[in-house]
Structure 1
């Protein structure tokens, strides 16, 4: 997962409150850091996304493949 995909997934899943979750919600799976702190420390976006999903009870079917753009149709 690229950072742009991470950002898109957060926006798609959490809407306007996504930004606040990234800076306010402490994720125990990431060493008691916020998502922003973890990303700044070099934790891969996919790992941060999955920890955020686990902490906020995002259903598994919405966790994988999130943030990817739909393929272009020819």
Structure 2
């Protein structure tokens, strides 16, 4: 998964205004207690970050 696809999924799930805020503010245990932005900046793959987001938000299997 590329970063562009990741951010498109984030906007689809949370909306274009809230996705960036949530990504900077919400700490996810599955990302080692980091935010989405921190995990991506540390080199975590967008695919792994999306899996953690998907699980945290309780999104349907079709969005995995």
Distance 1:13 1:56 in 2: 9
SS of aligned partner of 1:58 = coil
* Stretches of structure 2 lacking an aligned partner (at least 5 in a row): none
Which is higher, the Rg of structure 1 or of structure 2? 1
* Stretches of structure 1 lacking an aligned partner (at least 5 in a row): 64-74
TM-score w.r.t. structure 1 length?
Answer: 0.80
List structure 1 segments (4+ residues) > 4 angstroms apart after TM superposition.
Answer: none
Higher relative contact order (CA 8 A, sep 6+): 1
**Residue correspondences, number:** 63
SS of aligned partner of 1:43 = coil
More helix by share: 2
After superposition, the CA RMSD in angstroms is: 0.8
Question: What is aligned with 1:8?
Answer: 8
